[in-house]
Amino acid sequence: MAPSPVLTTRVLLICAAIGVATGILGGIAGLITPGVIVLTPYLYGLVLGSHVLPGIIAQEVLRRPFVALVTHLIAALISSAFNPAWALRFIGTALLFGAIQEGIAALTRYRSWGPWRFFISAGVIGVIVAVVVFFAVDLATFAPWVQIAYLVISVLGPLVWTAVGLAIGAALSRAGVARR
């Protein structure tokens, strides 16, 4: 008897549904990004942090290998429809965030699904976001309070969105989305 595939049709359909929903949110985040960077750059970490949702929700609902990465890529394709010029940014972010989420899950051999595991990946993503975007928006030219607010919000943004994603994933599980 052949082993069952990790990504069954049912799993892929759930990933697709989550990817479309979170991809729409990611597309909206992409549309407001230029305004946020110009008007309130210290809030950009909160906007960018929303991109953790696809993997968090997928892993919370399905608790299987590769679902974060697949769902992130689907979400990136949907987000790209809102701003095709940013398609590579959406895909790059999806690959980075999905790989971090999958990597943390792989460290526990996909056996530990406690909230702490999700928040570790969010913390890692938050630190990366803080460093990368610090240089992207040239935050060094801003007042010290803006720099501090930016760094704090950049780390907290993915953590807050992770809490939202866990709540959504738990609600979907209670609704029977992952029922076998």
pLDDT digits (tens, 9 = 90+) for 106-123: 999 999 899 999 999 999
Q: How far is the C-alpha of 73 from the C-alpha of 95, rounded, in Å?
A: 7
What percent of the chain is modeled with pLDDT above 70?
97
Q: What is the Cα 22 distance to its own chain's centre?
A: 9
The amino acid sitting at 38 is V
* Reported pTM: 0.92
Question: What residues of the chain score a pLDDT lower than 70?
Answer: 1-4, 179-180
